[in-house]
Chain A
């Protein structure tokens, strides 16, 4: 225990008053030890005690009787969390089935709009009407007086110096395959 000086004792009494329980705990024993043998310390204590008495004469304000009830009225209450929901007013009860029906209709509309149309499978006779297009470009080229076997297509080329055939000349030949195809399609 560190010895206490009168100066420090005076500071303690000036700040905390005369009651040892209000003094800092770690200095209390030393202050009490000084008080035992020091008349000056006792005089400081008496002075502080007079001010304590004046301060103690001012009574504390006590809460009004209803304050605790008001404070607790705003306090959380677990029971309210689990309370059953109150029944709905009668005039709104028809809203529930109506809302359910509207929700179902809306869901159906969304499904119809968002589902892609499924392709209809072709019937067998429809496939037959399309014919067999194993060399489908022949007829197209012959309609333009072009030959599939020509090295340089005359379509869009009219300069003989670069190898374009004379577009106005009579076709030199027709492929037998093309002629045969025309007969088939006819």
Chain B
């Protein structure tokens, strides 16, 4: 176990470049992956990650260790930057929309693996932002419930609800794909 993130941030505040490098090594991949899941765009995810770390360099001196975990703060900054970009896209908020109806089996038949992945990615992007973000934090980044809830500024119960709704929607929309996965697994 190396030096704690919070200690590295204190070193960043003293312009310790080695501490900056270690934080980038630890977290850059995760922030890029998270932003890409939320935004569905690789280039924008890179921009968000770069801006997130720029905020870290700027705000390291005012970091208060007891207030939040460093990763919570980092993901929260990244998420806010993602929201800014989504707002600029004039995305219509979908969180208040009713649960989507089961579209039923699609006639497309079997999908090859690449197409199947693309289809799942598209369905992920079609989820409301909060459900997508909850899945990105918990399923893909493996954050504990309390931390993911803190990143999103919701209760743990609300987080669980977002996750369940998101997964139910995906399950309904991907039934054909799921059948295909099962078929291949046999």
Contacts and interface: CB of A to CB of B under 8 A. Distances in A.
Contact of B144 (A25, A54, A64, A67): A25
Given A57-B116, A61-B33, A72 B170 contact: no
B160 A15 contact: yes
A5 to B, nearest CB: 16
A24 B178 contact: no
Nearest to B122: A58
A53 to B, nearest CB: 6
B29 interface: yes
Size category of the B interface is 35 or more
A59 B13 CA distance: 35
A122 B12 CA distance: 73
B167 A76 contact: no
A50 B178 contact: yes
A45 to B, nearest CB: 13
Interface stretch (B68-76, B82-90, B92-100, B133-141): B133-141
A47 B142 CA distance: 20
A101 to B, nearest CB: 39
Interface of A: 11, 14-17, 21-22, 24-25, 47-48, 50-55, 57-64, 67-68, 70-72, 74-81
B171 A51 contact: yes
10 contacts: A14-B167, A16-B163, A24-B156, A51-B174, A54-B177, A55-B135, A59-B117, A61-B33, A64-B46, A78-B16
Given A61-B36, A81-B15, A71 B24 contact: yes
Given A22-B142, A54-B178, A78-B17, A62 B168 contact: no
Given A61-B42, A75-B17, A76-B12, A70 B140 contact: no
A23 B144 CA distance: 8
B77 interface: no
Given A57-B113, A75-B12, 11 more contacts: A51-B171, A55-B120, A60-B36, A67-B46, A68-B24, A71-B53, A76-B15, A76-B20, A76-B60, A78-B17, A79-B17
Contacts of B117: 57-59
B154 interface: no
Interface of B: 12, 14-17, 20-21, 24-25, 28-29, 32-33, 36-37, 42, 45-46, 49-50, 53-54, 57, 60, 113, 116-117, 120-121, 124, 135, 138-140, 142, 144-145, 156, 160-161, 163-164, 167-168, 170-171, 174, 177-178, 181-182
B50 A70 contact: yes
B17 A11 contact: no
Contact of B53 (A48, A55, A58, A74): A74
B71 to A, nearest CB: 17
Given A54-B178, A58-B121, A75-B17, A16 B50 contact: no
10 smallest beta-carbon distances between A and B, as pairs:
A61-B36, A75-B20, A76-B15, A60-B33, A78-B15, A15-B163, A15-B164, A77-B17, A63-B32, A71-B53
A63 B24 CA distance: 11
B15 to A, nearest CB: 4
Nearest to A70: B50
Given A15-B163, A63-B32, A71-B28, A55 B17 contact: no
A25 B168 CA distance: 23
Contact of B15 (A11, A17, A77): A77
A74 B138 contact: no
